[in-house]
Structure 1
Amino acid sequence: MRDLIVGAMALLCLNAGAEAQEQAPSIDDYAALSNMSSVSISPDGERIAFISGESREERVVVVFNIDGSGSNVIDAGDDQVIVEVGWVSNDHLVATYSDRRSVGAINQRADVFRRLIVDADGSDSWELSIYASIANINPADDDHFLVWMPVVSDRRGSRALGNDVSAELGLFGQSVDRERSRDRIFVGADGFNYLLNADLEPRARYRRDDAEFELWSRYNSDGWELVYSERLEREDFRFRVRQSVRWTGIMTGMAGLDATGRYGYFASRGEAGDRLAAYRFDFETRQIEGPIVSSDLADVSSFLRDWRTNSIIGVRWDEEREKTVYFDPVFQGLQSQLDELFPRSNVNITDWDLEMRRVVIYVSGGSTPGAYYLLDRSSNALSLLAREYPNVPDAAMAPVEIVHYQGRDGVDLFGYLTLPIGREAHDLPFVILPHGGPQARDYSDYDSWRQFLASRGYAVFQPQFRGSDGFGNDFVEMGHGQWGQAMQHDVSDAVAYLADQGTIDPDRTCIFGWSYGGYAALAGATLTPELYRCVIAGAPVSDILQMMEYSEGRLGGGAEVYWAEYIGNYIQNRDEVEAVSPINHVDAIRAPIMLIHGTDDLIVPVEQAELMAEAMSAAGKPYEFVRIEDGPHQSYRMTVQNRVELFTALERFLLEHNPPD
């Protein structure tokens, strides 16, 4: 393959501000929404669609012709957030929106996602059924795309047919013009999930029947044949009247087929039952092969698909940094070239046209806050489409290092250390930034929160403490029942390690977190008060038992089993939970605390911050409370104004209580 030629593309005027600046970017620069996101190319390779806009109210879908002959804007309306956009034909898009509304008989507000099929010129749209799952574009039919829909079969009155009612999965050709114009292509058998081959025909199916997993195939015949089965192990977790059930085994599902239909790919923890790895099933030999891709650190489970054939072509996962392996040699060759071209960043091949003549590339992290490129494979020219955050230049990107350390009990841990530009990595003022979730994790791509703090002169560390997601089942379970205990120790041990290395000044250390990270900040202030000079708790859980009461009354209480498994049985072990609730240890606080909470937080209610504020007032402890009016919990729903308020409060509080100089 010829070397890629990097050039500048004059299609979009979205690159202002990309030159290096002497001063650090402003709060407004870090608070800005993505200039360009969810970029996709039409099947014929002639048009590109993406999301842009300076505020949530101004977010729109932009469609432009690559040859420069024209463009148009599709407005989403002020009351909803555009989440994603893609093509279902050469002239029609599917746009996913999120808005808040009252749901169910309990009439509680929640974020609801809707998908609209939109004419690319913006002239018309209609809402896709909530029961429809898009199977694939149909390259042979530009007027239809493929959807899976439940089909109810009523056989009552017919003993020969079973005398029952069942819900089966049906494949339909959905018209791009209106919702109810659907052509039935195939209806499956009860309880099966189906996989399409390169000709978009069902060629494999699987189901769990009681505790038995079954895989069936039509690889070598027109009839269905059982090609694999295994007995699954059932794991129950019960809490009061609710329970969660998990089935474990070598194979419990399948992600898709390769282009030949011979191999089916799936993720499995294997016999060890810990980290997920990529496996494949050979429908010819009827044998499992693998693991074909695995990691000693992280789960490997995100399969990559070629929309043209609906086939699996590779796998992507995150260790310390993002990793990509393609099974297809064309894609792997291109990925290798791109990795060499952007050696410090994560590089994703995100979309391509039917002929794979034009390819969209996304680069983030390392030396850039994010940029989209268009590759023309006929000329091998890679041209810049737009920078994602044009007012945060590459020169302002603080370097992010991977730091491995051990917990006090010997558990191997790591995290992301972001160092301020132009300062020696010695005795630095420090902010430790534990993530939310807690069953979540941080990544190596662009993170505006850590970059903002580093731009103000602070070293920032994001520990991947036990209980974090993506590092195997055992690592997640190590966090169960460990709020304020081993999970918190992992945060504290990171501070001690970086201090011992001489990187940070332990006397100039603060902690900031959001959601569970906000809890960890308050737990740091109350359970290890000697560690922190100041504490910033965003959307924090301060009273775990009160939080559980809220969760039990929220949307029917469906989350209480999850929390009982993660936190522990907070009904039977009430004393243990209270022992790690920050609100019960306010007297131990030494550092000034800032509480930040959005008033429209549906995940952790603002009352959690209010309770902590009341307790601190009663104890005469220094604090301030920043209410972000109408602020949500999730960062993706935050407005620019929400983010400006957050960053402004962070900067002011840190300068007052832990100045970087």
Structure 2
Amino acid sequence: MGVSMKWRVAAASVAFWAATAANAGTLVEDAGAFGVRPAAEQVAISPSGDRILMLVPGRGAQTSLKVFHLLTGEERTILSAPGTPETLRWCRFGSETQIVCRYGGNLMVDGLLLGFGRLIRIGVDGTGLAQLGQRSSFYDAGVRQFDGQVLDWVTNDGGSVLMAREYMKEAGRTGTRMSRSKRGLGVDRIDLLTLKSEEVEPPRPEYDDFVTDGRGHVRIRTDYAEDSSGILSGQVKYQYRGANGGDWQALGTYDQRNENGMQPLAIEAESNSLFYTQKLNGRDALYRMVLDGSNKPELVAKNDAVDIDGVTRFGRGQKVIGYTFATDKREVVYFDREFDGLSQSLGNAIPNLPIISFSDSSSDGTKLLIFAGSDTNPGGYYFLDRKTKEMSPLFDARPALAKRTLSPVKPITYRAADGTSIPAYLTLPPGSAGKKLAAVVLPHGGPSSRDEWGFDWLAQFLAARGYAVIQPNYRGSSGYGDDFQGANGFKDWRKAISDVNDSARYLVDQGIADPAKLAIVGWSYGGYAALQAAAVEPTRYKAVAAIAPVTDLALLKREADEYTSSQMVRDFVGSGEHVREGSPLQNASSITAPVLLVHGDLDLNVGVQHSVKMASALQGLGRPVEFLRFKDLDHQLDDSQARIQMLTQIGAQLQKALGQ
């Protein structure tokens, strides 16, 4: 299938996003260009394909919902959230006239930081704002964190959603028969226009999630097992039922502690099949099981180097059209010949943007919303009409970088101290020959995560400032199988941190980096790794920047005590000497390089006290330390002004320490 590029929609949409990129050079200009949030996120297309919606950033943490009509060029801002304490998480068309959004954030409740989220409906004209979940009551018998989730989108009836609704009983209300008695998670079909609901699955407290077949039928229910006090055990049990309903039957289990068992990904109604991942020779492989009662698994795909980590679906019926995995670069293998051909045609039409994904489609599948990007291009969105084979650009994801020359990202491997081959990504300053540069080690968060090839705003900012950047996928990273992931980056911190420091050694040995001009920067576990690496090798780095870092493993466990995940966190961190020896806070006296700490004080992932205590310890030792604390922001620091300020201070710290 050929794809011709005809730029007919661009004029109406791109005008809104027109921006003049600042000339590269000064720290203020670089921080401003790379720190601003993406101009569009959570982009979706309406059932007819005539409208586009997106979330756009406002000042600071503010986020707004905009709707564009592709035929008339009309644009409308219909909803805004301040970002503190709540923000818009995502929005999607439930019908041609109704939109469903989730908003949420983190709040301090009786001294405990809790996440919360709510689902709402609003018309494309900005009217009819209404809550979809059960309304809170003064008599609620507990704190309602989340009101549920959308399981399925049913557009063939004029617009309804299948919603897993959280029901909470009331307590303390006397003298009336109106007191609510339902509790637990149930499933309701909600008409988005009238808000009338129909019970599909009665609420029961023992079930925590449901999976549908994409066509409005509940096929799997999930039980996250807990003890008598409500503490999660890490054991997950799945049940399923046939295409025509009937009794629930045992399907399988998953142990979150050792990541063993089946993980359902999708049910495809057309083939009555479950697609799921399960370990095969220490790596996640993709299996298919026809849900006919036989429970017979069929191996669909495996990779001898990395995990199969997902499936690709398409259309409102959510047909499974392929699967994904990431080696040096992310790959998609399509089952569907038409989409395989379409993907190749798109690659030919826009050859410099190899990261291509089908973001959304009209109900009939003829109009597609496509994202395309690369390592040197933050990417943008395109509209494709499959009938006419015409594709039109809509807008850039980061217009502030449109006129910037960004740096290619090169997949590499290096040898760890024990000879293990460690995958990594190397980014050099634009136009650099890569010799004797000031350099930054940038370990990823997680630790059970990994970096991938593509655009990374933090790495590109550092490269724009003139630094070579290496991003090591140290042992403890996920995606490379059980042996590589090992016990995890906390229990086996010595191996992970050794790999991180070996990436700096690699840069020096290859002549890329000046050994006297090395720094380390990281976020979350990456921030932990930055501090701990500097404690293990005090003379290697001239500067350390740690964003939302874990600094004390014992504190990490104590923080979890008030939450249902407490036992799982304790199991993950473990007990023993590694808890003290692997904690930067307990090794603060070994850190000699200047340290910059950055943290939001509503961080639910890693409490701000990690940075508070680290800053205090370093100050008490007379070590140079700066602490940038952001009020009302969480782990992601989703605030343009905050990110710009953070990049400005990181840039100033590196410039002073490395002389760049």
TM-score, normalised to structure 1, is 0.84
Selected match of 1:455 from 441, 464, 473 = 464
Q: 1:229 to 1:550 in 2, by over 3 A?
A: closer
Alpha-carbon contact 1:535-1:594 (below 8 Å) kept = yes
Asked if residue 372 in structure 1 is aligned to residue 356 in structure 2, the reply is no
Asked if residue 140 in structure 1 is aligned to residue 156 in structure 2, the reply is yes
Alpha-carbon contact 1:440-1:468 (below 8 Å) kept = yes
| Partner amino acid, structure 2, of 1:632 | L
What is the aligned partner in structure 2 of residue 386 from structure 1? 395
Selected match of 1:86 from 87, 92, 101 = 92
Selected match of 1:467 from 473, 476, 501 = 476
Identity of aligned residues (%): 24
The structural deviation recorded for 1:460 is: 0.7
Aligned equivalents of 2:314, 2:560: Cα separation in 1: 40
| Partner amino acid, structure 1, of 2:152 | N
Alpha-carbon contact 1:20-1:393 (below 8 Å) kept = no
| Partner amino acid, structure 2, of 1:509 | L
Asked if residue 650 in structure 1 is aligned to residue 650 in structure 2, the reply is yes
User: For 1:52-451, what aligned pairs fall within 5 Å after superposition?
Assistant: 52-56=56-60, 58-78=62-82, 79=84, 80-103=86-109, 106-129=110-133, 130-149=146-165, 171-177=187-193, 179=195, 181-185=196-200, 196-197=212-213, 200-201=216-217, 204-205=219-220, 218=242, 248-249=260-261, 252=262, 254-270=264-280, 272=281, 274-282=282-290, 286=294, 288=296, 290-340=298-348, 341-342=350-351, 345-393=354-402, 395-451=404-460
Q: 1:247 to 1:213 in 2, by over 3 A?
A: farther
Q: Secondary structure at the match of 1:10?
A: helix
Aligned equivalents of 1:98, 1:208: Cα separation in 2: 24
Q: 1:298 to 1:55 in 2, by over 3 A?
A: farther
Moved more, 602-611 or 521-530: 602-611
Aligned equivalents of 1:212, 1:609: Cα separation in 2: 34
Alpha-carbon contact 1:126-1:178 (below 8 Å) kept = no
What is the aligned partner in structure 1 of residue 606 from structure 2? 604
The structural deviation recorded for 1:172 is: 3.6
Aligned equivalents of 2:186, 2:634: Cα separation in 1: 37
Q: 1:395 to 1:345 in 2, by over 3 A?
A: farther
Q: 1:437 to 1:143 in 2, by over 3 A?
A: closer
| Partner amino acid, structure 1, of 2:593 | A
Aligned equivalents of 1:519, 1:225: Cα separation in 2: 45
Asked if residue 580 in structure 1 is aligned to residue 582 in structure 2, the reply is yes
Aligned equivalents of 2:113, 2:521: Cα separation in 1: 28
Aligned equivalents of 2:89, 2:612: Cα separation in 1: 31
Aligned equivalents of 1:209, 1:652: Cα separation in 2: 47
The structural deviation recorded for 1:264 is: 2.5
For structure 2, the residue ranges without an aligned partner over 5 or more in a row are 134-145, 169-180, 226-234
The structural deviation recorded for 1:336 is: 2.3
The structural deviation recorded for 1:647 is: 0.7
| Partner amino acid, structure 1, of 2:625 | E
What is the aligned partner in structure 2 of residue 591 from structure 1? 593
What is the aligned partner in structure 2 of residue 520 from structure 1? 529
**1:66-102 superposed Cα distances (whole Å, 9 cap, x missing partner):** 1025222112232421121111111111111123324
**1:148-177 superposed Cα distances (whole Å, 9 cap, x missing partner):** 45799xxxxxxxxxxxx9989865431113
Aligned equivalents of 2:45, 2:599: Cα separation in 1: 39
Alpha-carbon contact 2:601-2:634 (below 8 Å) kept = no
Give the count of matched residue pairs. 620
Q: Secondary structure at the match of 1:7?
A: coil
Q: 1:543 to 1:448 in 2, by over 3 A?
A: same
Alpha-carbon contact 1:200-1:309 (below 8 Å) kept = no
Q: Secondary structure at the match of 1:495?
A: helix
The structural deviation recorded for 1:483 is: 5.5
The structural deviation recorded for 1:289 is: 5.3
Q: 1:535 to 1:257 in 2, by over 3 A?
A: closer
Q: 1:177 to 1:312 in 2, by over 3 A?
A: same
For structure 1, the residue ranges without an aligned partner over 5 or more in a row are 153-164, 236-243
Q: 1:543 to 1:145 in 2, by over 3 A?
A: closer
Q: 1:290 to 1:390 in 2, by over 3 A?
A: same
Aligned equivalents of 2:33, 2:357: Cα separation in 1: 24
The structural deviation recorded for 1:631 is: 6.0
The structural deviation recorded for 1:216 is: 5.7
Which one has more relative contact order, counting CA pairs under 8 Å at least 6 apart? 2
| Partner amino acid, structure 2, of 1:479 | N
Alpha-carbon contact 2:118-2:147 (below 8 Å) kept = no
Supply the RMSD in Å over aligned alpha carbons. Answer: 3.5
Selected match of 2:54 from 50, 66, 87 = 50
**1:419-476 superposed Cα distances (whole Å, 9 cap, x missing partner):** 1101102222100011222223223232111110000000111111122233334433
